[in-house]
Amino acid sequence: MKRVKQFRLFGLLLFVLFNGIVSAQEMPFINAKISVSTEVKSSFIKDGRLILHMTKVRGKEPRKGGEITIGVTPMDWDSKVPFNFTTKDKNVLVLGNFDGKIKSEMCYFQVVYKQTMDDGQENVPGNLYSKLDSVKISASISINLNLDQLITPTEVVDHKFIKPVVIKSRLLSDFFGHDRYLKAAILLPSGYFDNPGKTYPICYRAPGLNGRSHYINGLIAEKEFANWWFSKDAPQIIYVFLDSQGPFGDTYQVDSENNGPCGKALTEELIPEIERLVRYDSKSHQRFLTGYSTGGWVALGLQVFYPDFFDGTWSYSPDPVDFEHFGLINMYADESIFYNWFGYLQPSKRTIYGEPTRSMKDWIAAENAVSRTGNYLISGGQFGAYNAVFSPKGKDGLPALAFDPFTGKFDPEIAKQWEKYDLKKILERNWTTLGPKLQGKIWIWTGDMDGLYSNVATRFLKDFLDKTENPKSDAKVSFTPMAGHCQEWNDKAALTWISKKVSELKK
């Protein structure tokens, strides 16, 4: 153990020294002055997060991805006077450096004011942002930006076969003390209007991280999919896009101490309303789930948590389903999320050839920068979402942090409580009762070179399922060699497999 700690200390020293050299060469000193225009002052909310994005790439909105991100929370800023900050301020978090491969003398920048309390994301309705501006790169840059744009909602496309659904959730409204709404978008099968008395199978599609119900717009806009959906070969299934909006990021559609009774609201409020609108017959036992990435975890998780309510799940590239193998991390035994047992920086992403492309330390630093608390807690990102769903509520009313945002050190008491959402542990501990209910209901497939290392957890879940008895699990778990994260996801393929299951049920 002493040698491991020495390796970690040495690795940390090298990391700090290297980062210091790079930062000194490529990170300019920034002075920023941010104003709020008269047009959007009525929409301004105090204590949001200012996020300055910078890039050397011309023609790209920096707020949708840049080389440098700078975050600060201007406490008690009332917007009547401009807010000034510099990158020398201790409460200003700076992430990244300019890409030396891009030969440009100009820097393009844009600022976002993240203020929407019911949505942890940045580029979402209710937040403010500035127009794109530019400046010549130098060792010291002074910029003036004006918050004059308000992000407005994206509506579900107007289409005969698409029905948007928005309902007020009594359960979530009571939990938060103000009105909260649930959303979904329904894609009807081609024969729906020709058969007014017919009931159809229904499939709930859980989106990837922070997905929205209006993503149905993109699917129906795909010419190949649309032509297939309205052809005689398409399955006659109702396809429902769920929405994962939450105050801390993706809610994972499950009950939690921080996001409230999301699973209960889904199964007792939203789904009954959807099925009333489309005349689904619950006695038909053809209520299915599918999804990829975060949606893959949700699709499997909902089937496990509600084994009698749902009748089958097709989960692709799910987020880690075993927290002892949370990527390459053991949530219950590791000391730090930043370093592995050999003292090296823990990788968080890789190519399909195994080359690490990002460290866990950098991942968390990126989430720290965009959160109004200055840590990943309200980042709206992957770990902000994980933490809000899996951790208990802290003494301050916000999610308790499972690990320190700057050292990566785990809080073992908090991490232990993640077990309530560890799908493999849930199945291991309750197989006698869950096993019979899940027979004929689980299909999981993923790439064996998942870019987020999520396939590791799926491997261990498969090992467990293969060894089960009383009953012997018939779950289908498969791996595609050399395929990356969500590389093979396809709505058409998922719907075709579900249609095959429906045909088998009719025999």
Q: Which two tokens stand for residue 289?
A: 């789930």
Q: How many CB atoms lie within 10 A of CB 144?
A: 14
What's the CA gap between 373 and 378, in Å, rounded? 7
The pLDDT, as a whole number, for residue 363 is 97
The pLDDT, as a whole number, for residue 26 is 65
Task: Say if pTM beats, i.e. exceeds, 0.95.
Answer: no
Per-residue pLDDT tens, the chain, 507 aa: give them. 444 444 444 444 444 433 433 333 467 899 999 999 999 999 999 999 999 999 999 888 999 988 999 999 999 899 999 999 999 999 999 998 887 777 788 999 999 999 999 999 999 999 999 999 999 988 899 999 999 999 999 999 999 999 999 999 999 999 999 999 999 999 999 999 999 989 999 999 999 999 999 999 999 999 999 999 999 989 999 999 999 999 999 999 999 999 999 999 999 999 999 999 999 999 999 999 999 999 999 999 999 999 999 999 999 999 999 999 999 999 999 999 999 999 999 999 999 999 999 999 999 999 999 999 999 999 999 999 999 999 999 999 999 999 999 999 999 999 999 999 999 999 999 999 999 999 999 999 999 999 999 999 999 999 999 999 999 999 999 999 999 999 999 999 999 999 999 988 877
pLDDT tens digits along 382-392? 999 999 999 99
What's the CA gap between 159 and 166, in Å, rounded? 16
What's the CA gap between 169 and 265, in Å, rounded? 7
For 79, residues 6+ apart whose C-beta sits below 8 A from its C-beta are 36, 41, 44
What's the CA gap between 185 and 239, in Å, rounded? 8
Q: Does residue 331 contact residue 408 with C-beta atoms inside 8 Å?
A: no
Q: Which two tokens stand for residue 295?
A: 């949606």
DSSP assignment of 318-374, as one string? PSPS-GGGBTTB-TTT-SBSSB-TTSSBPEEEE-TTS-EEEEHHHHHHHHHHTSTTS
For 177, residues 6+ apart whose C-beta sits below 8 A from its C-beta are none
Q: Which of 255, 260, 244 is nearest to 119 (CA)?
A: 244
Beta strands in 213-293 (DSSP E): 238-242, 255-256, 260-261, 287-292
Question: DSSP character for 21?
Answer: H
Mapping DSSP onto H, E and C, the string for 470-498 reads CCCCCCEEEEECCCCCCCCCCHHHHHHHH
29: number of CA atoms within 13 Å, CB side?
Answer: 5
The pLDDT, as a whole number, for residue 99 is 76
Peptide bond before 405: cis, by omega within 30 degrees of 0? Answer: no
Please report, to the nearest 10 degrees, the dihedral formed by the alpha carbons of residues 259, 270, 314, 163 taken in order. Answer: -130
Name the region of 8 (left: φ>0; alpha: ψ -120 to 50; beta: rest).
alpha
* Residue indicated by tokens 């978090």: 93
Q: Does residue 370 contact residue 51 with C-beta atoms inside 8 Å?
A: yes
Q: Which of 61, 114, 68 is nearest to 87 (CA)?
A: 68
Q: Does residue 146 contact residue 35 with C-beta atoms inside 8 Å?
A: yes
Q: Does residue 111 contact residue 49 with C-beta atoms inside 8 Å?
A: no
The pLDDT, as a whole number, for residue 36 is 97
For 398, residues 6+ apart whose C-beta sits below 8 A from its C-beta are 258, 373, 377, 378
